[in-house]
Structure 1
Amino acid sequence: MKKYILVVTTAALIFSCKSKRDTTTDPPVTPPVNSTSELLLFKFNESTGQTLSESKTNTSFSINGPSGSAERINGLEGKALRTNGYYGWATGKVNVTFPSNKVCISGWVAPAAFPVQRKDLDQLSDNTNASIFSNVNPYSNSGAALGIDQWGRIIGQFKVGTEVIQIVSNQQVPLKKWSFIALNINSLSGTASLYLNGSKIKTLTYAFGNLLWDKNATVYIGKESKTKTVAGFDTNGLTGAIDQVALWNKDLTDTEILNEYNKMTLSDPDLRIPLAERYANDNHRPKYHLVPSAAWTNESHGLMYVGGKYHIFSQRNYNGPYLEHINWGHYVSSDMVSWEEKTQVLWPQPGFDEVGVWSGHAVVKNGTPYIFYTGVNKARAAIGLATSNAPYDSWTKNGNPIIAGVPTTIANADFRDPFVFQNNLDWYMMVGTGLRNGTARGGLFLYKSLSDDFKQWTQQGTMMEGNPTVDGTGDFWEMPVYYNFGSKSVLLVNKLPEANALYWTGTFDGSKFIKDNPVPQKLEVINHLLSPSICPDANGKLTAIGIIPDHVSSEKNKQQGWAHVFSLPRVWTLVNGKIVQVPHPNVLSLRGTSKNFTNVSFNQSSSNVLNGASGTQYEIVATIDPGTATKVGFSLMSNLSINEQTLVYYDMTTKSFVVDRSKSSILNDVPKSIQSSNYELPAGDIRWRIFVDASVIEVFVNEELAFATRSFPSEGSNQIDLYAQGGTAVAKDLKIYNIQGGGTVSVAKFDDAKEDILHPVVYPNPSSSDFNFKFNTVQKDLYVAAYIFDINGFPIRKIEKLLSSENDIVKWDGITDNGMKAREGVYLIKGFVGNKLFDAKIIIN
């Protein structure tokens, strides 16, 4: 390969597009094309529509995606094109003569995420080039492209003679910021250079020769020219925004490139997903459950409370609703009910996590949070570490893995998903695996920390191993959870195959978990919720949030543009060796107006006993006497005119809970199975608490049991009714609360205008009775409507009163609505004074 030295003057740099060098080694010179301006220019200033126009030739380009799906945002001047990984890019063909000696491609890019490199199908040497411009023929490789690769580096490609030249920067462009990138090619001197924000950052030399183009090749704006797919999704599109893309018929000077960069006044692009517009017709998207703004999410992990906020992370592919190129998504909340989606905190980078940053855990030690995660490359998995400072929006990875790979002394099938916990003064880490020394079974590798900064660990063998012929725990364990409740500890695993969350009670002796029983218990009565993430809340209540998968087809995921949803926060307590699950008390803030029913009799001949009750976001609280019925429960998401309904009930004969989705939808690509599980309830009333949120159903029974499921009815199937077979049952008390709010807000910051919750003074407190709630801010007559709730969130006493400035105290005598004295414990009063929400804690001794 020959190298050439350019000798130029300042004047020549500015006024000439020619370079001087030793002509004895020159190849034949092709005359420059036309003028020294843009050959092609894309400004993206169209406001709407599925087409855009190239400014120099007025060629129309089509924007890929369903009709009406093209999205623009405010750009550097005018509009910019938003692309979404697997759709939204533009294609067209232009009738121009491409230069054979010198060319520059330039443009602005603001990636929301870096593009996909397929873990199993792409070689590391085959970099993804999510291009702002590409007219490369994918078969002959003629043409040129400029974009960013799977690690956020600037990447250019072109062909000279028979050689395909690729140039890749060492620098990564920032996420969610505008960056000006450029590729200069001079085939006369055999040089190519990359530029970032006006500065040259990489130069490559090569054997000179003419640039090769295919004049009939399709031009791509926002995608690589190659076809690469996973599960029917294109994987090599850009996720982010593009603006002011130009193809120049010369190589620009350093000064000219700097001038192009300085032309623009920069502000951060608004890359929030336009939720209302994008999902306007999506009747399956939840509104008060935590759900990603778009694309793929699955396992929740790293739930923690630090700096007065709750943080939770999840597996995320921002490039589309399919499993690949996993990042750590990040959400923040002040109450675990309303969440703000933040920029991802971890993503694949060259090294041990170059193809995926998989699940893990987070702990807070001495006020500092630590993330432990599974880093995946082509060869193996390793355990990584990252730390952060307030406000915990960005995290710094430890350069090397803290555990370099799976133990080689024990035959195993991979390992992943670290969980870190403290036992006495020592810190331990357990990592899920599948053991293969003998019977294939699940297991947990155990490590002990040797340093205060968690960077050094020593392997301790296995903490626990499965015995699938006895305990039914499969051949691989992932997403383990450990928690010490005091007298007993709980160890939970998610077993594979047939994913299921299972747990044992027992004790940890510093090296092994000693099980109380050989066979684990199910976390969920009906298996659907998976991989719960746990942490104590601000008041010390152990709180869990898990994933509730869609279980729909890839085509359905593509149609809706998102995948999977998280559960509501749940409080876990250990009672008589069982995990008791109830909704977190903060969920009460979701309640709006209610419809109330008492002593409603119903049987298999009954219909519309709830007087036309309907909704898509609501909570049911009910106490039902099964009476003589053999099946008793609810008909949800119903439209009997098209024979759609989802049944949730308890079968008294088979002693089992049932979710009958066999007639849940007339749509394709959605689950319609019947789910059931045996569980013997005690005789007497059944207390139900059911949350319905579009396609999500979460059920809590008798302040103890829980299960979740998904159902995807057609639009308009929203009727609510009671269901019984084999006899007559009575709903002694039933309330249906309308729910608004909650869920995920894809914004840059919290709404500063959100009003604080009022907290009246409570006295005496603690007390055995006669509580007073004083509202010091009452300036006029105000109506109080509230309930006293027990610790499980069930209403026990309704409170109503008209307040005035002279009479600003509400009283409670400690008696419940059924005339009984409230038992010792913690209670909550919650309601409205005027139009303001208030709450206060009550302690009965």
Structure 2
Amino acid sequence: MKKYTTIIVLSLLVFGCGSKKNTTDTTPPPPTNETTELLSFKFNESSGQTINETKTNATFTINGPLGSAERIAGVEGNALRTNGFYGWANGKTNISYPTNKVCVTGWIAPSAFPVQRKDLDQLSDNTNASIFSNVNPNTNAGVALGIDQYGRIIAQFKVGTEIVNIISDQQIELKKWSFISLNINTLSGLASLYLNGVKVKGIACPFGNISWDTNATVYIGKESKVKTIAGFDTNGLTGAIDQVSVWAKDLTDAEIQTQYTKVSPSIPNLKIPIADRYANDNHRPKYHLAPSSAWTNESHGLLYIGNKYHLFSQRNFNGPYLEHINWGHYVSSDLVSWEEKTQVLWPQPGFDEVGIWSGHAVIKNGQPYIFYTGVNKARAAIGLATSNAPYDSWTKNGTPIIAAVPSNIPNADFRDPFVFQNNSDWYMMVGTGLRSGTSRGGLFLYKSTSADFKQWSQQGTMLEGNPTADGTGEFWEMPIYYNFGAKSIVLINKLPNANALYWTGSFDGAKFIRDNVVPERLEVVNNLLSPSIHPDASGNLTAMGIIPDGVNSAKHKQQGWAHVFSLPRVWTLVNNKIKQVPHPNLLQLRGTSKNFTNVSFDQNSSNVLNGANGTQYEIVATINPGTATKVGFSLNKNLAIGEQTLIYYDFTTKSFVVDRSKSSVLPDVPLSNQSGSYELPVGNINWRIFVDASVIEVFVNEELAFATRSFPSVGSNQIDLYAQGGTATATNLKIYNIQGGGTASVSKIAEQKEDIIHPVVYPNPSSEDFNFKFSNIAKPTAVAAYVFDITGFPVKRIEKLIDAENTVIKWNGYMDNGMKAREGVYIIKGFVENDLFDAKIIVE
């Protein structure tokens, strides 16, 4: 069956079609005959799970769980918000559709463009996320108008036995109202699309009668076809719809212009109402960065520029499943409170038409550059994008900077560029799976040959794995290179069984020379992946990764979001190992605390912390293991239903253990245990544990880190100590209540921080006994701080209560390990109540 898809480049001239109204013509356009309006959807209902079609009074049902329907301010009154995999409306109408002439009009404000399924849809099978569709998927009778996966206006209709598709050449804007229209006249054999009152595409269509199915379901906000992935509908619109009409005539250009100019819409507020939407979600974190909705995974491109932190990540805005990947964008002034911005990159026709996959970002001479993996139906290529302040929109290079994988080196794939500087040269490494001989991971190496990063020379492989000897799997993705000075690291995420591993060594301009064959694990228990790194405002190497949910599709569909970012961490290299500590800015999250000293506990103990409980908190504890063979914590505990998550160190097996076997009685959540071997030195164990709903991040002895997920029932929130085989003692333990942080919602934009306080330091320089004097202290005020060495590693924790009579805190020049601080520059950084302070210290 022939499809009419002829593109008429000069359609305005060939068909004599109208164009944008001449601004010098003062003749008013003829009024539209309202009696020709067959269907009209105003969406002005204030609540409820239905909408009303005002011409026939037909009731349409909004798809989704009861109470899930959302409205926003529209072009006039309210508008219907749709969320990709739910939120559209459907119903039936009892009207006679016109035989030869029809027009469909409506307003649309997309948050993202709809999904085209990478492995299930042909490129010619365009998605039509319709503002109106009554197409019978079996016979194709009916009319549909919407946008495709690239944001182009798209329409479909049927004349006799012929199916007609028409697609505009230009893309509509994200997060702005656009007025789109479809005109069909089968007596003259013309069909046209309009954007904001102006004709943007015209094609020839067959003469004859328009085919309709009067019994077909009408969809508002979704294509009529059934297209799914993992139980998610993939062809719904993500955004908002308003003022949709079907007319029993083809409107003139002047009439379409009149419909467009009837209203003057403001910028739509498409931010997700986080507080309302997730009010009953006890598993959603509040101070960890998480997507406002739908899907996120690999973080990349952490930058600090213009006094702001920018983090990018893989995003599908259409639902919590992996497909049609964009680059999401988050901005923060402190690495703690984040605001989600409009995505900066998304698929467009060409080499990245299927997805914008992972990559990296760098700053060169004050100019930021994004390097990304562009995916089409064949193989990946490397793309480039640039931006100017405030870095909210980015411009892609028109063609890939590396168009194809090296043909002379057999490989399985090619993705995830990471760019770094070595002396005066810039290099790019790209993850791959090598297939000459033993299947193994590897890194292709490229060298920049142009100042604008558009030309690169292939340099072979920078590093190759040997799975038998080093356990690094068959493929490497999301690589990282960083030079700490005396040593450099290369970190890879190996597949299968994803794990972040790294080597220390040196780069000679062609190869990375490893110190050891077997890499180190980044996490002592593997549940954090794909970290992104960048120095913070103070020069501390800061990392953020992704902590997967580990749940199934049913749970993701229920909660409406997928995956969480780690808290920011400071990395240092000590004795050829990466040490990870919580970023000092996290101190500002601390609220009131409960304090305990010298608490003894054993396997028969319960509730030794006197009913301590919470869902958002930080534990800081020093535990003497005594005679216990297992020592740690029982979190998310509820004896009444038998729920608890155990996190402990096992001295018998010399390993950290996360016991989730009784973590939840709920379905569709992970219950598997996790562990990682590590031999702790004899003595006390220092713990910092951050619990945020379903997220748990653990830091041990200011060097080790791991993360996990736990999905308890509502009310399972008790905090307790855990021991087996003997008696242990918590010599000092504090539980800080935490509020704030996370992703900004509609009503809560990240607050502007006041200027940093700089206390007077005396004597300075000195060899010991530093004093830090604060001013304007009128009441008892808590001070919490760390002293950091020049590499950003915390060497001394300081906590004290000051008041109007005692405004000084002291540091005697000794570190927490009992050794005297060596000569050099140190920084003290922390909080006086909720105000950030820092000061430079010079140790003689």
TM interval, short-chain normalised: over 0.9
1:123 aligns with 2:145: no
**One-letter code aligned to 1:800:** L
1:444 aligns with 2:469: no
2: distance between equivalents of 1:6 and 1:561? 48
Change (3 A) 1:822 1:635: farther
Aligned counterpart, 1:783: 780
3-state SS, counterpart of residue 642 of structure 1 = coil
8 Å contact kept, 1:786–1:829:
no
**One-letter code aligned to 2:480:** V
- How far residue 823 of structure 1 moved from its aligned partner, in angstroms, is 3.3
Change (3 A) 1:344 1:676: same
Instruction: Give CA-to-partner distance per residue, 1:340-396, whole Å, 9 cap, x none.
Output: 100000000000000000000000000000000000001110000000000000000
8 Å contact kept, 1:796–1:816:
no
Change (3 A) 1:832 1:634: same
**One-letter code aligned to 1:267:** S
**One-letter code aligned to 1:736:** I
Aligned counterpart, 1:830: 830
2: distance between equivalents of 1:73 and 1:15? 32
- How far residue 278 of structure 1 moved from its aligned partner, in angstroms, is 0.6
Aligned counterpart, 1:22: none
1: distance between equivalents of 2:437 and 2:809? 67
8 Å contact kept, 2:296–2:314:
yes
1: distance between equivalents of 2:786 and 2:454? 45
**One-letter code aligned to 2:780:** Y
- How far residue 678 of structure 1 moved from its aligned partner, in angstroms, is 1.0
- How far residue 771 of structure 1 moved from its aligned partner, in angstroms, is 3.6
After TM superposition, the structure 1 = structure 2 runs for residues 619-698 of structure 1, keeping only pairs within 5 Å, are 619-698=618-697
- How far residue 822 of structure 1 moved from its aligned partner, in angstroms, is 6.3
Change (3 A) 1:809 1:819: farther
**One-letter code aligned to 2:124:** S
- How far residue 407 of structure 1 moved from its aligned partner, in angstroms, is 1.0
Change (3 A) 1:797 1:207: closer
Aligned counterpart, 2:812: 814
Change (3 A) 1:530 1:88: same
Aligned counterpart, 2:136: 137
Aligned-pair RMSD on alpha carbons? 2.3
8 Å contact kept, 2:81–2:87:
yes
3-state SS, counterpart of residue 310 of structure 1 = strand
8 Å contact kept, 1:555–1:669:
yes
2: distance between equivalents of 1:317 and 1:819? 46
Instruction: Give CA-to-partner distance per residue, 1:278-330, whole Å, 9 cap, x none.
Output: 10110000011110000000000001111111111000000000000000000
- How far residue 14 of structure 1 moved from its aligned partner, in angstroms, is 5.9
Aligned counterpart, 2:550: 551
- How far residue 783 of structure 1 moved from its aligned partner, in angstroms, is 2.5
Q: Is 1-10 or 693-702 further displaced after alignment?
A: 1-10
Instruction: Give CA-to-partner distance per residue, 1:657-707, whole Å, 9 cap, x none.
Output: 000000000011111011111110111111111111101111111111111
Aligned counterpart, 1:147: 146
2: distance between equivalents of 1:819 and 1:521? 24
8 Å contact kept, 1:340–1:747:
no
1: distance between equivalents of 2:798 and 2:509? 47
2: distance between equivalents of 1:563 and 1:129? 25
- How far residue 809 of structure 1 moved from its aligned partner, in angstroms, is 4.2
- How far residue 521 of structure 1 moved from its aligned partner, in angstroms, is 0.8
Aligned counterpart, 1:526: 525
After TM superposition, the structure 1 = structure 2 runs for residues 385-784 of structure 1, keeping only pairs within 5 Å, are 385-747=384-746, 750-751=749-750, 755-776=754-775, 778=776, 781-784=778-781
Change (3 A) 1:7 1:526: closer
8 Å contact kept, 2:769–2:813:
no
- How far residue 772 of structure 1 moved from its aligned partner, in angstroms, is 4.0
Q: TM-score, normalised by structure 1?
A: 0.94
Aligned counterpart, 2:837: 839
1: distance between equivalents of 2:512 and 2:328? 31
Aligned counterpart, 1:204: 203
3-state SS, counterpart of residue 255 of structure 1 = helix
2: distance between equivalents of 1:655 and 1:672? 22
1: distance between equivalents of 2:783 and 2:819? 19
Q: Is 752-761 or 40-49 further displaced after alignment?
A: 752-761
8 Å contact kept, 2:502–2:522:
yes
**One-letter code aligned to 1:814:** N
2: distance between equivalents of 1:727 and 1:81? 61
**One-letter code aligned to 1:786:** V
- How far residue 774 of structure 1 moved from its aligned partner, in angstroms, is 4.1
8 Å contact kept, 1:772–1:809:
no
Change (3 A) 1:753 1:680: closer
1:179 aligns with 2:184: no
Aligned counterpart, 2:63: 64
After TM superposition, the structure 1 = structure 2 runs for residues 266-415 of structure 1, keeping only pairs within 5 Å, are 266-415=265-414
**One-letter code aligned to 2:422:** N
**One-letter code aligned to 1:299:** E
- How far residue 816 of structure 1 moved from its aligned partner, in angstroms, is 7.6
2: distance between equivalents of 1:417 and 1:795? 38
- How far residue 839 of structure 1 moved from its aligned partner, in angstroms, is 1.9
Change (3 A) 1:623 1:749: closer
1: distance between equivalents of 2:707 and 2:656? 12
Change (3 A) 1:416 1:459: same
Instruction: Give CA-to-partner distance per residue, 1:41-77, whole Å, 9 cap, x none.
Output: 0000001000000000000000000000000001111
3-state SS, counterpart of residue 588 of structure 2 = helix
- How far residue 796 of structure 1 moved from its aligned partner, in angstroms, is 3.6
Instruction: Give CA-to-partner distance per residue, 1:128-166, whole Å, 9 cap, x none.
Output: 000000000001000001000000000011100111101
Q: TM-score, normalised by structure 2?
A: 0.94
- How far residue 206 of structure 1 moved from its aligned partner, in angstroms, is 2.0
Instruction: Give CA-to-partner distance per residue, 1:216-247, whole Å, 9 cap, x none.
Output: 00000000000000110000000000000000
Aligned counterpart, 1:802: 803
2: distance between equivalents of 1:436 and 1:209? 58
1: distance between equivalents of 2:798 and 2:748? 37
Aligned counterpart, 2:193: 194
3-state SS, counterpart of residue 632 of structure 1 = strand
Change (3 A) 1:41 1:723: same
2: distance between equivalents of 1:579 and 1:631? 26
8 Å contact kept, 1:130–1:147:
yes
8 Å contact kept, 2:784–2:832:
no
- How far residue 793 of structure 1 moved from its aligned partner, in angstroms, is 5.8
Segments of 4+ moved more than 4 angstroms: 1-17, 747-757, 792-795, 815-822
2: distance between equivalents of 1:808 and 1:726? 46
3-state SS, counterpart of residue 375 of structure 1 = strand
8 Å contact kept, 1:798–1:817:
no
8 Å contact kept, 2:275–2:745:
no
2: distance between equivalents of 1:757 and 1:47? 45
How many pairs align?
822
1: distance between equivalents of 2:841 and 2:27? 83
Unaligned runs of 5+ in 1: 18-33
Unaligned runs of 5+ in 2: none
8 Å contact kept, 1:814–1:821:
no
**One-letter code aligned to 2:389:** A
2: distance between equivalents of 1:738 and 1:495? 37
Change (3 A) 1:664 1:361: same
8 Å contact kept, 1:167–1:204:
yes
Aligned counterpart, 1:24: none
- How far residue 769 of structure 1 moved from its aligned partner, in angstroms, is 3.8
**One-letter code aligned to 2:116:** Q
Change (3 A) 1:129 1:748: farther
Change (3 A) 1:7 1:674: closer
3-state SS, counterpart of residue 261 of structure 1 = helix
2: distance between equivalents of 1:688 and 1:16? 74
Aligned counterpart, 1:25: none
8 Å contact kept, 1:762–1:840:
no
8 Å contact kept, 1:588–1:793:
no
2: distance between equivalents of 1:796 and 1:6? 77
